Amino acid sequence: MVCPCNLFGSLSYGEPIISKKDKTEHPPWYPSQAGVDVGLRVHNTLTDQSDPVPFIPGRGRRVLWYTCGPTVYDACHMGHARAYLTFDILRRIIEDYFRYEVLYQINITDIDDKIILRARRNKLLADFKAEHAADYAAVESAVGASLDAKGQKLDKKMAALAAIELPADAPSREREMHETEKAAAALKKRQFDDIAASALAAASESPIEALFRFAGSELGETLDAEKGSTVTDHQIFNAHARFWEKARLRETGQRWGERRGRDGARWGEAYLDDMAALGVKDPDVMTRVTEYVPQIIEFVQKIVDKGLAYKGGSGSVYLDIDAFKTQGHHYRKLSPFSGDTSAADMAEGEGEPAGGAKPLRSNIAAEKKNPNDFALWKSSKPGEPAWPSPWGTGRPGWHIECSVVAGDILGANMDIHAGGSDLKFPHHDNELAQSEAYYGHHQWVNYFFHAGHLHIKGLKMSKSLKNFITIRQALQEHSARQIRLMFLMQPWDRPMNFSDQTLSSLGAAKSKEAQFKNFFGTVKALIRSKWLDEEVGWRSREEDRALYDQIADCQSKCHHGFCDNFNTPQVVDALSSLVTYCNNYLSRPPPAAPAVYLVQKAAVYITQILKVVGVAEGADDIGFPVSSAGSEAEVEGPLDALTEFRDAVRSIARKKGPVEEILGACDAVADKVQASAPAAARLSDQVAKSSTWKLDDPETLMKEVAARRAEAEER
């Protein structure tokens, strides 16, 4: 059956699926019938059904995928890591396990109210610093006035929220939003009180610098209100966005976290560097909004020409929701709601920055035909970047940016659109509306994936609330592998709390990492042993058959887990259970002997699945393996240690020294080999058996060697 909404000519769609949630009906969703069905079932927010729906792309094995990228105005935090690591895992499973051919696009939002506000404030603050570098009285006065104004503003906000009494029959969603807004206001007030106290307490140490360090944000806000309209150079806004986007480390050839110097701790915090540090695959296509302004203007003009958008008195252009619905379209597909958009949602929809100088909402509402109408093109005010357009100088609206760049690369219909769950409404709903208005059909996106939020103390982790932990900070405490394992052990589409739950999950992730690492080392040592000198068949018979059955069972559980809405917790559990079974199998006392090839099969399969989800390295390597022969740096440490050991043994033999000296030389060479980067080895002595070695992390081994030396010195 072809969808009755004139969907893209030859693309074939099945019967519509209509679902209800909280007594609200979702618009019909039409599943594709043209692509390859591999058995994958997914949670599609367009239906929001509790049971996953079949994933079938629209073009054979080809999958067109767009993910909302970052708004680059500050360092990425763990909330971003939750989203981008989640989609990296899902992408790897779709590409490397199910073997779909994915074209993956991500967009960099580099025109946005938040970028404009932050860049402008930074510019004004830098100018103020230069002008008053030695004038403590002027700085103290300005900071004091800014703190007073901010404190009064926050007090007024909290009082206004406390005075609101919702009616008894108010919808639960409205009550939840009100409580969230009160909690956010209380958090900002606590943060402000801490800032004010810190600024006053630290002023005696290094007066001017302390004031700027602790109260610079508040002073910048005041300066922006007074002089923001004077900042007109586009380069100021572009430079700020590029700073937080740029892959500095990739350009300099340095490893993440190594760069120091002019930018200090900021090196390595940029978005692309953070993604590389987390092991997130590069997109196939990356776009920037600033490179698409002419196309955005053409996109908006076409919607205006169709009678689905109009120019307001200010020069802004709005989507006409009533006209849009009259043509048979649905608005708010992802979050159906019959009432008007709330003031908070509308502010979010228009991209108003938290704490910024907002235009009077009454003025905006007055020029709209319907309160739900949202801006496609925004008239620029003094102090904002501006481009000429048929409606006057202005800039793109927030939502139109994604529609245009995605449409340019992926066309009139895509298979997957992904983003954080906070973007469902208004951003993604508005994207759908304007795109379907432009293309003239009813299904711009076939599947919407929304990653679960990362909350901290009940609130979404966000830059605006300043309640975040940066990716760089997290990686100072935990490895990228541990963070990835933590997310793998949680359902991808459900929220997580960054607190006790996270710490517990990280502890479990570290245990799983150690379990896998130790198992791989054990199997490698077994393969290196002289087992081929013995019988090589299934020597234990039933126990060997049972091991094979366990491997097959693990493979089945992993497959069903991947097919069941990317159930990675089930996959990790299955792999872990197989490791436990193999360890028990290998620990049987003599004369039991392992079927080595079978154990190797288990280890290879576990490695393959860990590569699929990005835990094990190598899935994204390019070209043939590079031989390490002749690579002096890799063998220098072990060869030096062996040379010194040979000299020591020869010296002891010549003087006929005691056995204790030989044993001491053995311990010394073990320590040196174990701590030799980049391929450090852990040596293990075994009673009545040959010693074994396993590769391990050089830093961990060096710490252990240092601890043993310190203990020896104390004795």
CA distance 20 to 27: 9
Neighbour tally for 38: CB within 10 Å: 17
Mean pLDDT of the chain: 83
Q: What is the mean pLDDT of residues 510-527?
A: 94
Helix (H/G/I), strand (E/B), else coil: 40: coil
- What pLDDT is stored for residue 256 in this prediction? 39
- What pLDDT is stored for residue 212 in this prediction? 78
Lowest mean pLDDT among 115-129, 164-178, 327-341: 164-178
- What pLDDT is stored for residue 503 in this prediction? 67
- CA 527, 529, 534: angle at the middle one, nearest 5? 100
**Is the confidence at residue 489, as pLDDT, over 80?**
yes
316 Cβ partners below 8 Å, 6+ apart?
364, 367, 375, 377, 378, 379, 391, 394
Any bridge partners for residue 219, and if so which?
none
The answer to whether the beta carbons of residues 422 and 453 sit under 8 Å apart is: yes
The answer to whether the beta carbons of residues 587 and 526 sit under 8 Å apart is: no
Using only C-alpha atoms, what is the Rg of the chain? 30
Q: Decide the pairing of beta strands 20-21 and 414-420.
A: unpaired
Quick one: pLDDT band at residue 259, thresholds 50, 70, 90?
A: very low
- CA 593, 594, 596: angle at the middle one, nearest 5? 135
CA distance 494 to 504: 17
- What pLDDT is stored for residue 285 in this prediction? 97
Residue 488: is it exposed, middle or buried by C-beta count within 10 angstroms (0-12/13-18/19+)? buried
> Structure tokens of 611?
């590569």
CA distance 505 to 482: 9
Q: What is the mean pLDDT of residues 617-646?
A: 66
Fold for domain 20-109+287-477?
Answer: Rossmann fold (3.40.50)
Residue 462: name the closest of 425, 490, 429, 498 by CA: 498
Q: Where are the domains of the chain?
A: 20-109+287-477, 114-245, 502-612, 635-714
- CA 117, 121, 125: angle at the middle one, nearest 5? 175
Quick one: pLDDT band at residue 8, thresholds 50, 70, 90?
A: very low
498 Cβ partners below 8 Å, 6+ apart?
78, 454, 455, 456, 461, 469
CA distance 247 to 275: 9
**Is the confidence at residue 306, as pLDDT, over 60?**
yes
C-alpha distances out from residue 358 to 231, 282, 347, 668, Å? 17, 36, 9, 68
Quick one: pLDDT band at residue 436, thresholds 50, 70, 90?
A: very high
Cα of 147 vs its chain's centroid, Å: 34
% of the chain beyond a pLDDT of 90: 45
32 Cβ partners below 8 Å, 6+ apart?
11, 12, 13, 14, 56, 57, 58, 415, 446
What does the pLDDT look like over 11-50, one tens digit per residue?
Answer: 677 777 766 655 568 899 999 998 999 999 999 999 988 8
The answer to whether the beta carbons of residues 30 and 47 sit under 8 Å apart is: no
Residue 447: name the closest of 54, 37, 13, 36 by CA: 54
What does the pLDDT look like over 375-429, one tens digit per residue?
Answer: 999 999 999 999 999 999 999 999 999 999 999 999 999 999 999 998 999 999 9
Residue 419: is it exposed, middle or buried by C-beta count within 10 angstroms (0-12/13-18/19+)? buried
Quick one: pLDDT band at residue 622, thresholds 50, 70, 90?
A: low
Quick one: pLDDT band at residue 258, thresholds 50, 70, 90?
A: very low
Q: What is the mean pLDDT of residues 73-90?
A: 92
